[in-house]
Structure 1
Amino acid sequence: MDIVPECMEYVKHTAEYFPKRVMRTKLLNFVLEKITKVPVFYSGSRAEGIPCVSSDTDFMYEVKAVSPGSHEGENRFGDEEENVSVVLDLTDVHPGYTKVRILNGSWQDSSEFALYGNGLRSLCKLGTSYLSNMLVSEYWSTRLPNIFPNHGMRQETFLHGPCISTKYDSKSKVAEIDTMLCWKCEWPEVANEWVERDRKFNWPTQEIVNEIKKTGCNLVPVGYANSGTKELEWRFSFSKAEWVIIWSFNATQIACIDIMKLLFDNCISPKFPDLFPSYFIKTTMFWLIEETDCNFWKPQNLFVCLDKLLLNIISCLDQKRIRNYFIPENNMMDAKSPEELAKLHEELKICWDNGEEKWLRLIKENLSTIDKNEIYFHHILINGLTISRHLIYTTMQSLNLTDWKEKTKQTIRDLKRCGENGTLPDACNILSQEFEALLTIYSFYSSRFDGNMEFILSTENIKHVEETLRNCAKLSHSTGILQLAIFYFCLERYPDALQVVQQVQKKYTSQVVHYQFWERHKTPRDHDYPQAMQRPSLEQTMQNYISLDFVLLPCLSRLYPDMIQEKLRDGRILFIHPLFFAIHLQFCCFCMMGDVEKCEETVQKMQIFVKQNIDLLRKTRDFTIVDLTTSCLRIVRTDKHSEDYFNETMKSLI
């Protein structure tokens, strides 16, 4: 067969973007575990780096202080001198599931269930010693708002299988965020066959097998669909193991599973929703790679690889059996409708008869939608940076100045260590520089708060802060440069502050891509950037084309104008559009200088900004800039005028 250029291009593109997605997942998990200190990890197909079109964003929260053991008397709960509290019970359950039983004894409940609820025993089904997955999920729904940041999130939650879900209003669609409470568990005996299995082609390698066994697994709160004791059952989840396995794929294997997911997304799943989830495709792929020589998986063989994977899926449907990769006794298909499986089998046979053309069409279509321009080249890195930045800042929102200072110092050390380990070093460097600039501001203003005027008035110290903030300004439009404007504002150097904010407004051209939490406001295209360098570095891209939300920290509220301080009194961190903040700070400068005419002109700019972004504000439910515009209007107009503006604007938003 002749080598198809599109196949080679697709695999080449896969080899470029996939490692970046892996690095993003590692960065987010590092931030969650080491910096925010929340026992949550990013999971699902997005974390693995091969998402479907309809993939949700998944997070799994590992319960603290409780780790079920396979045998009674093995695991400790809390203090090492105490008796074990919970164990697995695999009697009368479907393969791949277990019950979790609380042991009798005088042990003290030191779990988070005792800290935030009524204790672990209260989560058992009435009259039993077995933990109820339903009661645990209900408990989790009450804890969720206290653990995850709510900026950009809708307040309501709903049950989605074993997950508690919420919605995030992004630029292009309403995204779903799934969070799940789970138990961290040692490697279960029921999965020992996977560890000891003979592998003809040495995949996965013994090194990978040993790493996975050491990591263990999780138990998630969902029972077997056809079980009479479904509420008491928990499913073994091997999410972490699946990362390690998928991250060992070569580019052809990644491209193969990616294209198969595209086929199902475009042609199969709309007709058969939830019948053959992407997890089944992944599992079939695992078995296929294990049973195939590694020389089979080459770019020039992509069509052959896809045909082989599709044939294996058709064979699974023919047998109405798909073996769990880690616990083969678990037929994950046996709770599905046999009639529907038969219809899907016929549909895939028809698809098979379309030959290589079906693959070529999908590859061409997907290649045409891949944004290969130079700005997008860094998108995955910037996305990982913005999410990490958001998570870190949100965990710091309730800290006082002293605690915030210590937390910031530790965060800088952690980020530098993460970068040195090779996990998105550019993103870690940008974050650490941003926090170092904030520390510089803190050190300067803590002297001001302490009345150390000699330090404050020192020309040398002022120049040091200015230099630090100007260097930080190179990171993006919204980091150091606006902090520099605040610095001047607090020193009552209003003309200098105005000069900075005017520079921001002038630089904020149509070529700038504004990143909010998890989302950018537009898709950049090459023809929008005629002066762009070929493959600019991340630092060059950030400095010239990327703007991040400007962060207002409650612990530093005394640095901000009075109207901003009003918004920070409830302890929130405000993630605000940098261009709007520049205009708002401009208004505050003119107000302090007593220039009424300029105040009038500037508040009109704020109103225009709100009007131009009304659709985005409606989607993200971000009403802060409406509040601030109203406050400014109240200064230059009547209370009646500002109240009418607020009511009319909010009416168009809600």
Structure 2
Amino acid sequence: MDSPSLTPQIETGIRHMSDSVFVGLCRTVGTSQQVAMRRDVIDIEEMVMNKVLTDCHIMEMRSGSEREGFRMKGSDIDTMYCIKNHQVIWDLFQIQFYNVHRQSLILSVSSESSLGFTLLQLLTPRADSRVISALVTMNGGRYISSSKYREITCSIVIPNSTVHGPCGSGLFGGSLEYDNAHCFASEFWPPSASSWIDRCQTWPQPQVVRDIVRRGCHFVAIGHKLGNHESNEWRISFSLAEQKLVYSMNHCQFLTYGLLKLFLKEVINNGLGDDEKLLCSYHMKTAVFWMIQQNTIPNWCPQNLLKCFWYCFKLILKWVYEGVCPNFFIPENNMFLSNIYGEGQNRLFVRLFGFYEKGLASLLHSPSLRSYIMNVLYIPRLSICTDEHTLVSETEFDIEMFMELYKHNNAPPSPDFYLNMKYLNTVAQLTVSPLTQNQVLVLQVFTASFLQRAAFTLQNMYSHTENKLIYIADRMSCHMLKLTAKFGCISDRLYIAMYYYKTLRYTEALSVIEMTKVNLAQPYVMYNFTVDTERYTEAVGGQSWSTKLRHVVAWNIKLKNKTLYINELMTEQIVSLQNNQHTLSIPPLVALYMMEFLCYRHIDTMRAQTALNDLQVLVHHDQGVYVAVHLRDISWQILGICQQISGNLQAALYSYQQSLKQYPHHKIQSATLTRIHELG
């Protein structure tokens, strides 16, 4: 299809409009530096986890838009879980590559399935219990039913998940969507996708192709809607291959993909019911893949961004008109076959053609981009700088970097000292590998996290043993916590205060608390990922991320619920863990005033009351600056605990009642009710 005539105003400013949209997308989707940083953080996290958990039964892999580098509102968290010692083969001769006494082998039988789908026949007698429970008998063989397996695994990772396609889905914190897919892996590339290898003449690069083929594919638990064995079939997933392809895009190509995702969400699907949303972001990604590989657009650059978008949009329009969307790896697999046909296909085409007739002016319907486009329409000669380094300030980049680090800084949930040491050893091994600056910082944060976790785990292990072992364990724990303070952020020092308090060294704990209080009071501190930009820049502008982390960043205190930190919060940790929450997250100032009160009540009752007053003012009057809204449940709870300890039972009752009224982020309501009952 030829492009429709554009208005003279848009024709005059078409290049400037591309530049303006490029700027808007960099602000919305991210600059190349931001995208690279996001990928680095997830990549190194996964590398650490997989190296440590080599003996683990399940392999965990992040996928989807977050793994690709998107952080747009609505970007979901997709995770694939794969049983390690279960492998899928395509031909019986491949059995020779495996030890059948140690591994369960599964044969892909695709003769009765549509392209892109297959049946999975269990060949070996032994298998995981979930696999055994999902078996059905067909043609004299034992096959794994996708529908049964999906039901069995849906809520394994997160209870009360609902089945959505091949995944168990739901919301984190009431807003962030997740999709957990339990799948099987094959180390061999699918024969039905062999033509893709021959097609890769210009893109992707040969090394990328070799890496993709070497990693094989996966099978997710969903069958073809029009197939003969829908409830038992499995879909071949190229998720890891797609991730590699997205990584190999240049930034203009990635932004084009992002623009198509925005256009789909904010324009095409705007106002439609869920049943009417026939196109999905996977179709957008597929269109970009085809466009890059077929070399339809010779120059993917900021000035050609809208041209790139328009070519991809026309390809999607063509697919909808014809009712055929060829899978990028198996073109014979028409991804429209089961849902875009008949009257629904006609309505979708009419809708898309309406946007086609409007031309690039259709982008004005996108709230994310409208203001950038309007600037050009009103000021056609407006000079627009497309230098990515100037689009996001140093402070903005730092804020996102530290947010990513905080989000992915997950110490192991098991209170196993040796596992923690294994994590530390893995980090040490990785430090001699070629790493980006981003990845070095990630390892620094992981080191601090694993050290503090190991310190408390060790103390719990030897707290009731002979004196000599207690002394040795204490020396080691103190040393590890001091290293935590050296590597971590300002608020990480509060773990030392907790440890000293737990081991009855109140004076030492208060010394740490006073020093930390002075540091947190500085006007340039990045607290809750907000900061005074001018003062931040004056204090640490241009310095290394490591320096910034240690001197200007304050994070929430994370208490892993399987590890005991202080007795006063044991009830909350137990209840939270019983409700499948692995962590208590406490705002730094709440933790500081709590520890200050607990320590001073053994030394100076007047100062203890002052600390309690400070805590009360903070919890009662903070407007989300120092106490995030989703952490108010634990903050009110801690205030109530301190008030109860001080003997002010009426105030404690009020605080507990307020805790019950907050969003139940930590699911500690039964702990709150228990404490209310204790008040009499």
TM-score (norm 1): 0.81
What amino acid is the match of 1:543?
R
1:578 aligns with 2:588: yes
Deviation at 1:258, TM superposition (A): 1.4
CA-to-partner distance for each residue in 1:292-333, whole Å, 9 max, x for gaps? 167422222222212211211111112111100001111101
Deviation at 1:409, TM superposition (A): 3.8
Deviation at 1:478, TM superposition (A): 1.7
CA contact 1:102–1:121 (8 Å) conserved in 2: no
CA-to-partner distance for each residue in 1:311-358, whole Å, 9 max, x for gaps? 111111121111000011111012224323333323333323334445
Q: 1:621 to 1:291 in 2, by over 3 A?
A: same
Deviation at 1:416, TM superposition (A): 2.8
- Structure 1 CA distance for aligned equivalents of residues 506 and 247 of structure 2: 53
Where 1:64 maps in the other structure, the secondary structure is strand
Residue from 464, 480, 496 that aligns with 1:484: 496
1:333 aligns with 2:336: yes
1:281 aligns with 2:284: yes
- Structure 2 CA distance for aligned equivalents of residues 182 and 160 of structure 1: 14
- Structure 1 CA distance for aligned equivalents of residues 288 and 111 of structure 2: 31
Superposed counterparts of 1:481-630, under 5 Å: 481-489=493-501, 492-508=504-520, 512-514=525-527, 521=528, 526=533, 529=536, 531=538, 533-552=540-559, 557=564, 560-565=565-570, 567=572, 573-593=583-603, 595-612=604-621, 620=630, 623-630=633-640
Superposed counterparts of 1:175-574, under 5 Å: 175-185=176-186, 186-197=188-199, 199=201, 202-272=202-272, 273=274, 274-292=277-295, 295-335=298-338, 336-358=340-362, 363=369, 365=371, 372-390=392-410, 392-394=411-413, 397-399=414-416, 401=417, 403=418, 406-414=421-429, 416=431, 420=435, 424-436=439-451, 450-452=466-468, 469=482, 472-473=485-486, 475-479=488-492, 481-489=493-501, 492-508=504-520, 512-514=525-527, 521=528, 526=533, 529=536, 531=538, 533-552=540-559, 557=564, 560-565=565-570, 567=572, 573-574=583-584
CA contact 1:583–1:606 (8 Å) conserved in 2: yes
Deviation at 1:133, TM superposition (A): 1.2
Q: 1:613 to 1:450 in 2, by over 3 A?
A: farther
CA contact 2:289–2:328 (8 Å) conserved in 1: yes
- Structure 2 CA distance for aligned equivalents of residues 300 and 530 of structure 1: 32
Deviation at 1:359, TM superposition (A): 5.2
Q: 1:506 to 1:341 in 2, by over 3 A?
A: farther
- Structure 2 CA distance for aligned equivalents of residues 528 and 346 of structure 1: 54
CA contact 1:469–1:483 (8 Å) conserved in 2: no
- Structure 1 CA distance for aligned equivalents of residues 628 and 496 of structure 2: 31
- Structure 2 CA distance for aligned equivalents of residues 621 and 575 of structure 1: 7
CA contact 1:72–1:84 (8 Å) conserved in 2: no
CA contact 2:561–2:583 (8 Å) conserved in 1: yes
- Structure 1 CA distance for aligned equivalents of residues 61 and 420 of structure 2: 26
Which residue of the partner structure matches residue 46 of structure 2?
Answer: 29
- Structure 1 CA distance for aligned equivalents of residues 610 and 82 of structure 2: 53
Deviation at 1:375, TM superposition (A): 2.5
CA-to-partner distance for each residue in 1:610-651, whole Å, 9 max, x for gaps? 434698989647744444333322222265663454235414
CA contact 1:20–1:380 (8 Å) conserved in 2: no
1:6 aligns with 2:20: yes
Which residue of the partner structure matches residue 94 of structure 2?
Answer: 74
- Structure 1 CA distance for aligned equivalents of residues 404 and 652 of structure 2: 39
Which piece of structure 1 moves more, 562-571 or 380-389? 562-571
Residue from 118, 136, 149 that aligns with 1:98: 118
CA contact 2:66–2:76 (8 Å) conserved in 1: yes
Where 1:429 maps in the other structure, the secondary structure is helix
- Structure 2 CA distance for aligned equivalents of residues 252 and 220 of structure 1: 31
1:45 aligns with 2:65: yes
Q: Any stretches of 5+ residues in structure 1 without a counterpart?
A: 146-154, 515-520
- Structure 2 CA distance for aligned equivalents of residues 614 and 139 of structure 1: 43
- Structure 1 CA distance for aligned equivalents of residues 74 and 658 of structure 2: 36
What amino acid is the match of 1:599?
A
CA contact 1:133–1:232 (8 Å) conserved in 2: yes
Deviation at 1:34, TM superposition (A): 2.0
- Structure 2 CA distance for aligned equivalents of residues 619 and 440 of structure 1: 30
CA contact 2:46–2:61 (8 Å) conserved in 1: yes
- Structure 2 CA distance for aligned equivalents of residues 490 and 621 of structure 1: 24
Residue from 141, 147, 151 that aligns with 1:134: 147
- Structure 1 CA distance for aligned equivalents of residues 490 and 505 of structure 2: 21
Where 2:85 maps in the other structure, the secondary structure is coil
What amino acid is the match of 1:338?
G
CA-to-partner distance for each residue in 1:426-461, whole Å, 9 max, x for gaps? 221232245456667888998986524997899xx7
- Structure 1 CA distance for aligned equivalents of residues 570 and 434 of structure 2: 34
What amino acid is the match of 1:563?
E
CA contact 2:15–2:304 (8 Å) conserved in 1: no
What amino acid is the match of 2:234?
W
Deviation at 1:88, TM superposition (A): 1.1
The count of aligned residue pairs is 612
- Structure 2 CA distance for aligned equivalents of residues 550 and 56 of structure 1: 25
Which piece of structure 1 moves more, 336-345 or 429-438? 429-438
- Structure 1 CA distance for aligned equivalents of residues 146 and 117 of structure 2: 12
Deviation at 1:276, TM superposition (A): 0.9
CA-to-partner distance for each residue in 1:548-596, whole Å, 9 max, x for gaps? 2223357874xx5431455556876543222211111101111211x33
CA contact 1:60–1:181 (8 Å) conserved in 2: yes
Which residue of the partner structure matches residue 18 of structure 1?
Answer: 35
Deviation at 1:252, TM superposition (A): 1.5
Where 1:276 maps in the other structure, the secondary structure is coil
- Structure 2 CA distance for aligned equivalents of residues 182 and 229 of structure 1: 18
- Structure 2 CA distance for aligned equivalents of residues 76 and 82 of structure 1: 13
Deviation at 1:86, TM superposition (A): 2.2
CA-to-partner distance for each residue in 1:402-425, whole Å, 9 max, x for gaps? x35633543443553567477611
- Structure 1 CA distance for aligned equivalents of residues 470 and 256 of structure 2: 66
CA contact 1:374–1:536 (8 Å) conserved in 2: no
Where 1:192 maps in the other structure, the secondary structure is helix
- Structure 2 CA distance for aligned equivalents of residues 545 and 535 of structure 1: 13
